[in-house]
Amino acid sequence: MHYELLIRGGTVIDGTRAARFEADVGVQGDRIAAVGDLAAASAERVVDATGQIVAPGFIDSHTHDDRALLAQADMSFKVSQGVTTVVAGNCGISAAPLRPDMELPMPLNLLDVPHGERFTTFRAYLDALRRAPAAVNVAALVGHSTLRAVTMGALEREATQKEVAAMRGLLEEALDAGAIGLSSGTFYPPAAKATTEEIIEVGRPLSGTRGLYVTHMRDESSRVMEALAETFRIGRELGVTVVVSHHKVQNRPNFGRSRETLPFIRETMRRQKVCLDCYPYTAGSTMIRTDRGMLDGRVLIASSEPHPQCAGRDLDDIAREWGVPEAEAARRLQPGTAIYFLMDEDDVRRILAFDETMIGSDGIPVGDMPHPRLWGTFPRVLGHYARDVALFPLETAVWKMTGLTARNFGLTGRGTLAEGQHADLVVFDAATIRDAATYEHPTRAADGIRSVIVNGSVAWQQGRHTGARSGQVITRQPA
Ligand code: ZN
Ligand code: CU
């Protein structure tokens, strides 16, 4: 046999949680053509994987890459980690639909979409991605906060029936175009006033479509159990799968409460479809805000429009220099983004180790000082948590970022390494893989990623991007 690409001599971890096995992998076009002993085969291009793991390309279940896919299409911050597919449009925020003239309230402006480059329909956004492919595949959600912002004049209130109907129409358009579901972010000001009923009524078109409801919940702090109950209720009323995004329990009085949330999630999973994801850090990152206990721990400024030179500095240090309280300094730094150290390591480990937890970075690809999760999430789970901390076997770690994610999001033909699947592959060194991005140096590429292949094209090789942009737009499968 002759293949276009042959990955020789590696150990396959196939993304199903099955034990690893020795096999060569042959690729023809954008598909895996054979898995097994291919010693007799020839190929146009051979990747030597001796001593390496060969796995399905990683799927980042939670991203804010909507705009980066077009503006930073090489997607080095993801490809360098072995990521070959991203789920965009999370936390209620999506790049479409938007009006060219509208001002984007925080946190919608985190996506950094310039006025002149906006898409008024979801279809136009997906078409732009097809015309100018990124280096990774994308499956996209439409954001409820985005729908509110395009539909409602004022966001500090519940939507009227007319507005709900308009949002429902926009959701229908997005689903017809191929969106994989609806995301919400009731934690954030633009959707905080949306009631449970509003979300259910806007979400009606999801029913019967295999579309998901994905949420940055109203509360991940003292009222996290109520927020979970609300999420489950929305899933039940719509008859859809729910995804609890970046599950966490934050602020010191709530440390340890993953002992309550995880059993509640487990118990609910018996009656309805519930999924969750998590990033492997004790700090989160989002817009600069002073309410809801966000300033209770160490705060590191990641970006600030009025004071760009403050990026990378601690808020308490800036406040001291300015001679003002921290909350006042934070207000002066707005709009911007910050990194908040509000989680307990034991909770992070408990949630990561929960068998149904997927890995999602939640990275925000804006500015020079992002949270290190943007460049480090996947190697950190494989190197730090699976190998060094021994939180779970490597096969489980890979499954949490491939097979489990593809199954939950309905990404047919991806997430497992088998004949006929899309040739999204990563070759990595299990002994040396390691996240190199830190809070001080957040944009360092990880160690130990040898080759990354997206739809049969090599995108990353020996620590460098090849320039390949072979990503595809993944649309929702019909019900
Ligand atoms: Zn979020
Ligand atoms: Cu997010």
Residue 160 pLDDT > 90: yes
Are both 62 and 123 inside the same structural domain? yes
End-to-end CA distance of the chain: 37
Are both 187 and 273 inside the same structural domain? yes
Measured CA angle at 421 (ends 418, 426), to 5 deg: 75
Are both 231 and 370 inside the same structural domain? yes
Tell me phi and psi for residue 258, to 5 degrees. -65, -15
Residue 12 inside a domain? The answer is: no
**pLDDT tens-digit readout, 329-345:** 999 999 999 999 999 99
Distance 10 CA to ligand 2 centre (A): 35
> Stretch 11-17: mean pLDDT, rounded?
98
Confidence at residue 161, expressed as pLDDT on a 0 to 100 scale: 98
How far lies 87's CA from each of 58, 136, 141, 208, 318, in Å? 11, 10, 7, 21, 35
**pLDDT tens-digit readout, 278-324:** 999 999 999 999 999 999 999 999 999 999 999 999 999 999 999 99
Torsion 147-275-442-128 (CA) sign: negative
Identify the domain boundary among 409, 437, 461: 409
The band of 443, judged by pLDDT with boundaries at 50, 70 and 90, is very high
Measured CA angle at 54 (ends 415, 5), to 5 deg: 95
Are both 309 and 402 inside the same structural domain? no
How far lies 380's CA from each of 81, 132, 215, 414, in Å? 9, 30, 24, 22
Residue 153 pLDDT > 90: no
Torsion 365-369-370-374 (CA) sign: positive
Are both 332 and 202 inside the same structural domain? no
Specify whether the CB–CB gap between 226 and 264 falls below 8 A.
no
Distance 79 CA to ligand 1 centre (A): 22
Q: Which ligand is nearest to the CA of 185?
A: 1
Residue 479 pLDDT > 90: no
Separation between Cα atoms, residue 380 and residue 373, nearest integer Å? 9
Residue-range definition of the domain harbouring residue 311: 295-336
> Stretch 62-90: mean pLDDT, rounded?
98
The band of 22, judged by pLDDT with boundaries at 50, 70 and 90, is very high
Separation between Cα atoms, residue 21 and residue 25, nearest integer Å? 12
> Stretch 372-400: mean pLDDT, rounded?
98
Q: Which ligand is nearest to the CA of 89?
A: 2
- CATH code at position 320: 3.30.1490.130
Confidence at residue 325, expressed as pLDDT on a 0 to 100 scale: 96
Distance 145 CA to ligand 1 centre (A): 12
> Stretch 249-256: mean pLDDT, rounded?
98
Separation between Cα atoms, residue 70 and residue 133, nearest integer Å? 8
Here the tokens at position 133 are 């492919």
**pLDDT tens-digit readout, 218-231:** 999 999 999 999 99
Are both 359 and 388 inside the same structural domain? yes
Distance 111 CA to ligand 1 centre (A): 13
Distance 187 CA to ligand 1 centre (A): 8
Confidence at residue 112, expressed as pLDDT on a 0 to 100 scale: 84
Q: What is the largest CA-CA distance in the chain?
A: 73
Confidence at residue 149, expressed as pLDDT on a 0 to 100 scale: 98
> What DSSP element (H or E) covers 451?
strand 449-454
Specify whether the CB–CB gap between 7 and 45 falls below 8 A.
no
Distance 204 CA to ligand 2 centre (A): 23
- What would the DSSP string read from start to end of 184-202? EETTSHHHHT--HHHHHHH
Residue 42 inside a domain? The answer is: no
- The number of domains in the chain is 2
Residue 477 pLDDT > 90: no
In DSSP terms, which residues pair with 284 in a beta bridge?
340
**pLDDT tens-digit readout, 94-131:** 999 999 999 999 999 888 889 989 999 999 999 999 99
- CATH code at position 247: 3.20.20.140
Residue 443 inside a domain? The answer is: no
On average, the pLDDT of the chain sits at: 97
Distance 49 CA to ligand 2 centre (A): 34
Confidence at residue 457, expressed as pLDDT on a 0 to 100 scale: 98
